[in-house]
């Protein structure tokens, strides 16, 4: 692209909400009759807040911008303002070119109507003219793979067919600026790939896209640049991976589980022989935090004070899932000597990269001499979260079942090729 111009220019955009805005007629009338009504409103706890404030940024034409942030950071509000569903309280945004916004697929689908009728209905709702829908009609039907069921009411469609049809219509909008929510994460894997291909075309075609998501892998895949919202304000703006890192850092800062717990000598867990002074979960650089990428190792660091010589002691760490099931248990028993002399020690247990699943884990830690005595009573001392910012190969981050989701080694060889006789099992 030789020259560029801002397709989207946002200046000081803000949206103010009043909670408890929907009062009934009775309340409103009561408010009108007596001055006491005003007092009632106060009592009803009429609160107000800025869902979005002072948001400014611009986006060059042909670029794909990811909008990320926690729940409640203002992502959906920004989306609603840019798609004109609701009016800003202050500020201004200008969008150059034909705009389309997709907050969901299949908006306005009526279950009683046929696939064909819903294509025209949904297309019109999305802003297509009837002749434009006619022009794209065959391609929409092909893309959705619903040909045979075109004249069946969509209430009889399987959910997969429904979503495919809905997406197919949306995919054939030809806006210059597309404002899109996480609607792409629909359908089965092969359809997702198809949609992503379509999204890729959109990015290639020089269309400007604003993509709102809390799916980091999708943002990393699709977006040229990103903006991080926090508390309704722009916290970071720039290159996608830079902003995602900023988001993760913020996640660390915000979580109450900050990856460290430490005690004074007097209240440290343990007894006369051993006291656990500190537990940390640290990354490779030795910094502790509460959130780890599953693709990075997690080091559990125990600092403990041995006051009397102890024979045959061991530490046990159980990694417990949020539902209470134990993902795994580990001990240092065979890796430490038979006698531990008095002193302050640090033991580090490494959970290798690519083992944990995405989720929240609690560390249950205890120490003892098996069969003899308990040194440190088991306690759930620390929690940490894991997230995934790179995907496992599919276009979208899938929620993977299981307490762990290890990246195991897979080996593939050809046993025989079809043009050769069966070679048997190789040595």
Partner 1 sequence: MTTTMPTDRPAGHAERVTVIKPHRGLASLDPVELWRRRDLAWVLALRDLRVRYKQTLLGVSWAVIQPLATMVVLHIFFGKVMGMAERVGDVPYPVFLYAGLLPWTLFANAVTSSSNSLVGNAHILSKVYFPRLLLPLSATIVPVIDYCIAFAVLAGLMLWFKVPMTLGLLWLAPLILSTVIAVLGVGILLASLTVSYRDFRYVVPFMLQLWFFMTPVIYSIGFVPERYQWLMNLNPMAGTIDAFRAAVLGQPVNIGAWLVSASVAVLTLLVGLMWFSKLERKFADVV
In the complex, which residues of this chain contact partner 1 (CB under 8 A)? 1-5, 13, 17, 21-22, 24-26, 28, 61, 80-99, 101, 103-104, 107-108, 110, 112-113, 117, 120-121, 124-127, 129-130, 153, 176, 206-207
- Contact (Cβ atoms closer than 8 angstroms) between residue 254 and residue 70: yes
DSSP state of 149: G
Minimum separation from the CB atom of position 81 to partner 1 (A): 6
Decide whether 197 or 206 has the Cβ nearer to partner 1: 206
- Contact (Cβ atoms closer than 8 angstroms) between residue 14 and residue 54: yes
Minimum separation from the CB atom of position 138 to partner 1 (A): 20
Decide whether 7 or 300 has the Cβ nearer to partner 1: 7
φ and ψ at 270, to 5 degrees? 130, -165
Minimum separation from the CB atom of position 127 to partner 1 (A): 7
Minimum separation from the CB atom of position 111 to partner 1 (A): 9
Calpha distance 327→322 (Å, rounded): 10
Decide whether 84 or 333 has the Cβ nearer to partner 1: 84
Decide whether 104 or 188 has the Cβ nearer to partner 1: 104
Calpha distance 357→400 (Å, rounded): 7
- Contact (Cβ atoms closer than 8 angstroms) between residue 238 and residue 76: no
Minimum separation from the CB atom of position 10 to partner 1 (A): 9
Calpha distance 49→44 (Å, rounded): 16
Tokens matching residue 402: 């299981």
Minimum separation from the CB atom of position 162 to partner 1 (A): 15
Q: By C-alpha distance, which of 17, 137, 122, 139 is closest to 77?
A: 17
Minimum separation from the CB atom of position 214 to partner 1 (A): 19
Decide whether 126 or 218 has the Cβ nearer to partner 1: 126
Q: List C-alpha distances in Å: 392 to 194, 248, 381, 399.
A: 17, 19, 31, 11
Bridge partner residues of 129 (DSSP): none
Decide whether 28 or 373 has the Cβ nearer to partner 1: 28
Decide whether 7 or 223 has the Cβ nearer to partner 1: 7
DSSP state of 138: H
Decide whether 10 or 351 has the Cβ nearer to partner 1: 10
Tokens matching residue 353: 């990269």
Tokens matching residue 19: 């909670």
Tokens matching residue 176: 């210059």
Minimum separation from the CB atom of position 276 to partner 1 (A): 52
């Amino acid at each position: 692209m030789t020259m560029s111009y801002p397709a989207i220019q946002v200046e000081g955009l803000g949206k103010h909400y009043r909670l408890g805005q929907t009062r009934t007629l009775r309340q409103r009338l009561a408010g009108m009759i007596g001055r006491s009504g005003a007092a009632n409103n106060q009592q009803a706890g009429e609160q107000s807040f800025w869902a979005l404030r002072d948001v400014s940024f611009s986006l060059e034409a042909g670029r794909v911008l990811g909008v990320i942030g926690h729940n409640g950071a203002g992502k959906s509000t920004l989306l609603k303002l840019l798609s004109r569903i609701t009016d800003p309280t202050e500020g201004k945004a200008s969008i150059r070119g034909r705009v389309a916004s997709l907050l969901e697929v299949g908006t306005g689908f009526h279950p009683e109507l046929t696939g064909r009728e819903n294509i025209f209905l949904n297309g019109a709702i999305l802003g297509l003219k009837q002749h434009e829908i006619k022009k794209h009609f065959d391609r929409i039907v092909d893309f959705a793979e619903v040909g045979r069921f075109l004249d069946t009411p969509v209430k009889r469609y399987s959910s997969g067919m429904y979503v495919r049809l809905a997406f197919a219509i949306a995919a054939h909008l030809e806006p210059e600026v597309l404002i899109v929510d996480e609607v792409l994460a629909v359908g089965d894997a092969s359809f997702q790939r198809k949609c992503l291909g379509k999204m890729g075309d959109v990015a290639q075609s020089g269309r400007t896209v604003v993509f709102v998501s809390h799916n980091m892998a999708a943002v990393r895949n699709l977006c040229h640049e990103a903006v991080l919202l926090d508390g309704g304000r722009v916290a970071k703006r720039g290159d996608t991976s830079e902003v995602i890192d900023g988001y993760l850092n913020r996640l660390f800062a915000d979580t109450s589980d900050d990856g460290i717990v430490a005690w004074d000598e007097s209240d440290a867990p343990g007894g006369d022989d051993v006291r656990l002074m500190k537990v940390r979960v640290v990354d490779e650089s030795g910094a502790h935090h509460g959130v780890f990428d599953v693709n990075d190792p997690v080091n559990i660091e125990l600092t403990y004070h041995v006051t009397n010589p102890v024979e045959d002691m061991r530490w046990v760490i159980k990694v417990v899932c949020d539902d209470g099931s134990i993902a795994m248990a580990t001990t240092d028993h065979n890796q430490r000597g038979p006698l531990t002399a008095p002193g302050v020690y640090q033991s580090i247990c490494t959970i290798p990269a690519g083992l944990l699943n995405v989720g929240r884990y609690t560390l249950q830690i205890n120490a003892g001499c098996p069969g003899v005595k308990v040194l440190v009573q088991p306690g759930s001392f620390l929690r940490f979260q894991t997230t995934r910012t790179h995907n496992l190969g599919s276009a979208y981050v899938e929620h993977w079942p299981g307490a762990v989701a290890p990246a195991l080694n897979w080996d593939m060889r050809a046993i025989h090729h079809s043009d050769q006789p069966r070679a048997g099992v190789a040595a």
